[in-house]
Amino acid sequence: MGLDDRKLAVLRAIVEDYVSTQEPVGSKALVERHQLGVSPATVRNDMAVLEEEGYIRQPHTSAGRVPTDRGYRLFVDRLSRVKPLSPAERRAIERFLVGAVDLDDVVHRTVRLLAQLTRQVAVVQYPSLARSSVRHLELVPISTTRLMVVMIADTGRVEQRLVELPGPVSADDVTDLRRLVNEKLAGARLSDTPPLVQALVEESSPKLRPAMTTLATVLLETLVERHEERIALAGTANLTRGGLLDFQGSLRPILEALEEEVVLLKLIGETEPSTTRVLIGDENEFDNLRAASVVSTGYGPGATIVGGLGVLGPTRMDYPGNIATVRAVARYVGELLAQN
């Protein structure tokens, strides 16, 4: 790296000042605002080295300097300290999430909370069915030849489908079908259910087999094939809060990217357990997001990750604060899912 502690301290001061003031940072301001213990001339020399190494740059409009993507990356990896949340912030998160009545409410409260706390765009992935287990399967008779199948996952996610049966089925037969599917499938991971569903058909009595065969087709579609992912988004208006240098003067590419669900899923849906991922500027694989940064993590009950959540904003963001908030909210949501 070749940067001594003093130059690293100067870079940290530049990042912190630029994030808080939205103004390019000059050597005189750094000496006045930070206890660097050296003269403005020394700071200017350090800034020249940082610029030469590609950690800061000079916008055309100013004599001051701003961090580059490389400078932010070094700041996140080596120079920043994650800000602990205040007791008031922790209580606010807990109070806001504890009142949730169902999974939809949990997701919508979470995404609004993240947007409010970080003042960035917040993205929350609904618990992925691909990572879920079956909690219960309910069969609700609509008529003698029609059933409603309701699948409740361990994450609280609910899927329902109508089944047109090949012939009339009695209430007792529906009770038997319900018992058989729950004995076989309750507690199983959705990804492990295909052979279990096939076994249900093979093990059914001749009387129940026609209905079970039809039911099995719908179960496979619901449990295995129907894995469309859903995303909740909040705080898009926060993008307009920045200065002229944010997003290289145009919000349009960012807004276009936010409309693509597949882009958002790739940004936050592939986070490893117990890690916080920070993508800065050009590290984003999507061209439209090269002026943005993303802080994301996985969430779920216990050690199981069922989805991702995170925030997106300008590269000039409060990384320590946003990392702490994203982690804390993910932990609370995981605890909530574990309790329910």
pLDDT tens for the chain, 340 residues: list them: 468 889 999 999 999 999 999 889 999 889 989 988 888 899 999 999 999 999 999 987 667 999 999 999 999 998 888 888 889 888 989 888 888 888 889 999 999 999 999 999 999 999 877 778 899 999 999 999 999 999 988 887 888 899 999 999 999 999 999 999 999 999 998 888 889 999 999 999 999 999 999 999 998 887 776 556 789 999 999 998 877 678 877 888 899 999 888 888 888 876 665 689 999 999 998 989 999 999 999 998 888 888 999 999 999 999 999 999 999 999 999 988 888 6
Whole-prediction pTM: 0.81
Q: In the beta sheet, which residues pair with residue 202?
A: none
User: What DSSP state is assigned to residue 79?
Assistant: I
CB 10 within 8 A of CB 46: yes
Angle ∠(95,96,100) on CA atoms, nearest 5: 105
pLDDT digits (tens, 9 = 90+) for 115-132: 999 999 999 999 877 778
Fold entry, domain 130-224: Enolase-like; domain 1 (3.30.390)
Q: State residue 74 phi and psi, 5-degree precision.
A: -65, -40
87-128+229-338 matches 3-78 in CATH topology: no
Q: Which residue reads 């496979």 in tokens?
A: 220
Angle ∠(307,189,214) on CA atoms, nearest 5: 115
CATH 1.10.10.10 fits domain 3-78: yes
- Going by C-alpha positions, the residue among 9, 6, 28, 69 that lies closest to residue 282 is 69
For residue 20, what is the enclosing H or E element?
helix 5-21
Give the CATH number of domain 87-128+229-338.
3.30.450.40
- Tell me the DSSP string of 138-168: EEEEEETTEEEEEEEETTS-EEEEEEE-SS-
- Going by C-alpha positions, the residue among 162, 129, 128 that lies closest to residue 145 is 162
Q: Which residues contact 303 (CB under 8 A, 6 or more apart)?
A: 273, 274
Which tokens in the block code for residue 116? 């409010």
Query: What are the boundaries of each domain within the chain?
Result: 3-78, 87-128+229-338, 130-224
Q: State residue 326 phi and psi, 5-degree precision.
A: -60, -45
User: What DSSP state is assigned to residue 317?
Assistant: S
Q: Which residues contact 142 (CB under 8 A, 6 or more apart)?
A: 148, 162
Rounded Cα gap, residues 209 and 207, in angstroms: 6
Rounded Cα gap, residues 116 and 57, in angstroms: 31
Instruction: State the Rg of the chain over Cα.
Output: 26
- Going by C-alpha positions, the residue among 272, 230, 227 that lies closest to residue 107 is 230
Rounded Cα gap, residues 82 and 70, in angstroms: 19
Q: Which residues contact 101 (CB under 8 A, 6 or more apart)?
A: none
User: What DSSP state is assigned to residue 209?
Assistant: H
pLDDT digits (tens, 9 = 90+) for 197-235: 999 999 999 999 999 999 999 988 877 765 567 899 999
CB 268 within 8 A of CB 278: no
